[in-house]
Amino acid sequence: MNEDRCIKCGSCTRACPVLNDPLGPGFPGPRGAGVDAPRFPERDSIGQIALMCTMCHACEWACPSGISLTLSMLRLRSGLNEADRLPGHRRMMDNIASCGRTVSTEFKGWREEGNRTLYFPGCIGLGRLTHLTEAASSLLTALGVSHDISSAAVCCGSPLLKIGATGVAEDLRRRNMEVFSRYDRVITSCPGCTNQLREVYGIRAEHMVEVLKGSDPRSKLDGRWALQVPCHLKRGLSPWAADDMASVLVAAGVDVVRVPGEDCCCGGGGGMLAGFPETSSSIARNKVQMYRSTGVDGIITACPFCSLNLGRQGIRVLDIGEALAPKR
C-alpha cells in the first residue's frame, strides 16, 4: 500500500463529492478515512465512516502522490465488524440470500435461447430499471447481437465488496462462472459489473459503450442532452470508454451539451445509495440543479446507479442504451 506517500496537500478532500456535500457530515474525507485513520494502533476497524464513500475515484485522480485511496477504503471495509453494517446494506444481503441479487427482481423478459452472447443487466436493471434492460436488449437485437438474458446469473458481487461482504461476493462469483461458461461473450450495462467481471472474474466483459463504439448506431432523440459520465466507467473501467460514450452519442446524431462537472459523482455508488440514502440523494439533487441551470432537456448516462439516483430528482435520465434504442 502506498498511503505513506501522503503530503497532506488536501487535494483529495477538495475533490470528494461526499465531503463537499452539505449532507455529508461525519465523513472525515478520503485522507481522514483512507490515510489517517488506519495508522492508529487503537483500532482494528474504523467503523461506519469507512462506508461513507461513493468509490468515485475522484480523490485518487486528484492526488498528486498517486495514493490508491479507493483500494484503501475497500480494505477498511473488508475489515468492518458485523455491528457496523448499515440497515440498507443488511437489506442488500437479505435480498442476495433470497434472490441472488441486491434488489428484488422485477424483470420478466428472460431470454434463454442458447445464444453465444449473454447480456448481463445487473441488479438495478433487473430490479428497479427494467425499462433500461428492455431498451438495451432491443438495441442489441437491432445491432444484430443475438443474446440471452439468463435468470440463473446472479449479482456480480461488486456491491458486496463495497459493503465489506467479501465472502458472499466469492460465493456469487462461483455461481456466475457456471452460467458464463455457456457463453463466448458477456455484455453489461453497468460499469460496476464490467469492472468486477474483468478484475475479479478475469473475463473480458464488454460494457454497452464499448459494444456501441464499433456498431455505428443512429438516434432519433430530440432536444439537448447533457452527459452524466459514470465514475466507474471513466475512472474505473477506462477513461477511453468515457470518451467513446460522448463520441458515440454525437456520431449517432444526439445534440450533446458538454458541461463541466459531468464526470463528477452522482452520489449513487459505493453502497451509498442503500447505506446513506439522504447523502446520496443530496449529492444527486445538487448535481441535477447544476444540469438544470444549463437548460438541457435531460441527461444521458451509462450506469444504472446514475440513472436511478439522478432520475429520482425529477429530471429525465436515459441510459445510453435507451438513448440509442430503436423507437417502439
Q: Shortest Cβ distance from residue 5 to other proteins (Å)?
A: 5
Distances (CA, A) of 243 to 29, 61, 274, 293: 28, 16, 29, 24
Q: Shortest Cβ distance from residue 68 to other proteins (Å)?
A: 12
Q: Which residue, chain included where needed, has cell 463541466?
A: 260
- CA 216-240-173 angle, to 5 degrees, is 95
How far, in Å, CA of 85 to CA of 87, rounded?
Answer: 7
Distances (CA, A) of 206 to 165, 197, 216: 25, 9, 16
End-to-end CA distance of the chain: 51
Q: Shortest Cβ distance from residue 4 to other proteins (Å)?
A: 5
Q: Which is nearer to other proteins, 7 or 152 (CB)?
A: 7
Q: Which is nearer to other proteins, 173 or 198 (CB)?
A: 198
Q: Which is nearer to other proteins, 17 or 159 (CB)?
A: 17
Q: Shortest Cβ distance from residue 60 to other proteins (Å)?
A: 7
Q: Which is nearer to other proteins, 237 or 315 (CB)?
A: 237
How far, in Å, CA of 9 to CA of 52, rounded?
Answer: 21
Residues near other proteins (CB under 8 A) are 4-11, 13-15, 19-22, 24-25, 28-29, 31-32, 36-37, 39-43, 46, 58, 60-66, 195, 198-199, 234-241, 243, 260, 286
Q: Which is nearer to other proteins, 88 or 239 (CB)?
A: 239
Q: Shortest Cβ distance from residue 62 to other proteins (Å)?
A: 5
193 CB-near residues (< 8 Å, 6+ apart): 120, 122, 156, 158, 205
Q: In this structure, what C-alpha cell is assigned to residue 94?
A: 437479505
